Structure 1
Amino acid sequence: ITDEDLYQLELERVFARSWLLLGHETQIRKPGDYITTYMGEDPVVVVRQKDASIAVFLNQCRHRGMRICRADAGNAKAFTCSYHGWAYDTAGNLVNVPYEAESFACLNKKEWSPLKARVETYKGLIFANWDENAVDLDTYLGEAKFYMDHMLDRTEAGTEAIPGVQKWVIPCNWKFAAEQFCSDMYHAGTTSHLSGILAGLPEDLEMADLAPPTVGKQYRASWGGHGSGFYVGDPNLMLAIMGPKVTSYLTEE
């Protein structure tokens, strides 16, 4: 899974054609508020517009390919490339070119904006997609919304992202990091994933009221000295973790 040719194919087939989570709307509350992040290996700017919509565009100047914005987050009326001063508005449109008449007399600025992505949101989460032919976000998320609804907008105040920027550099293939959150529930009931379990439980239940999932059917696959599996036990706990359809399938006689 770490083959370089396969990785390049994943960038083209997966990251370039999927809806990718970029942030939360509370990170960019006011017009001009922005964050910078990545879609695959492509740097992008995510910025709130004057009409409250959100724009996502490639963070790369069309002149010499330099970064348009080098900060992690902030507020801006425009973005100016530090190399030759080409300026873009918050929607990513090229609006000013120094010495345009002398150096680029035939330049049509409307044709020289950075590549712009499709943008849609779900309960405050900001998603973007390079593929103009991809299905809409609601269709793409499908039944995964069951799990997202456990965690998002659980009160009238809604969900709010914690301010600030934190970054980790992990020397691994992207799938290794993803598998840490989907391969097993060994530590889910006590440590890092506990909040996710509790969010999916009925409000009148506590973890102490649930039977540990150690009996019933077992589906297990082992690799690299570690295993993962589904242990069928308390239906309430299973419902929180696996959703209604999977729970019904695994518990049917």
Structure 2
Amino acid sequence: MIELKTPTEIEAMRPAGRLVRDVLAALTEAADVGVNLLELDALAHRMIDAAGGTSCYIDYHPSFGASPFGKVLCTSVNDAVLHGLPHDYRLRDGDLLSVDFAVSVGGWVCDAAKSFVVGTPDPQDLRIIDTTERALAAGIAQARGGNKMGDISAAIAAVARGEGYSINTQFGGHGVGREMHGDPHVSNDGRAGRGIPLRPGLVIAIEPWFMAGTDEILTDPDGWTLRSVDGSRGAHSEHTVAITDGDPLILTA
């Protein structure tokens, strides 16, 4: 069921959005050659505790997960593109790291993700990161009252296809509120002018993610980490956005 938030409830989501923003900034600063993914997860955990927040991930066990996630952060490296389960891995020069983080503060959730290169960047990695960021911006620009969900999806897809990337539609954006994942689904591909109307009070996570050489994924033995089937690298960008009577409100900016 799609739930619309009041202006007061959207304001109450801002602390969660600020914490998500601050954690992603801290992780970007901390991630360096030789840093262990488990150290990044521990840093995020400390910041959650210090802010009085609650992890959305530790006990998360949807139908597609093999078991409760058990960590507070998703860390996807190189050809791992989504839901990367933090494990004993030290970052290497040139790794493409995608970090996805959601947290509840005061009973309200916000969710965001970003990708960046650790150490020496490969131009192709920078290109796909830039594409996800531009696709996210294009999707957010369409997140206005009176538009349709398909306007967001079509804008994202146009950026991806303009750079020659194909699009996986198994996973995409989603409603956000008291829970991390809710209705409606926000596909990264669609037709403009189609889908549900965007009404003020709707809060959604918009999250384009693309892979360099394929649109097909496989699941690691850990039951969570999703990888490209051809070993090509991927990137992921996400913000939590509220539809208002005016401009989109990016709660995790």
TM tier relative to shorter chain: under 0.3
Structure number with higher relative contact order (C-alpha < 8 Å, ≥ 6 residues apart)? 2
Mark the structure with the bigger radius of gyration.
1
TM-score, structure 1 normalization: 0.26
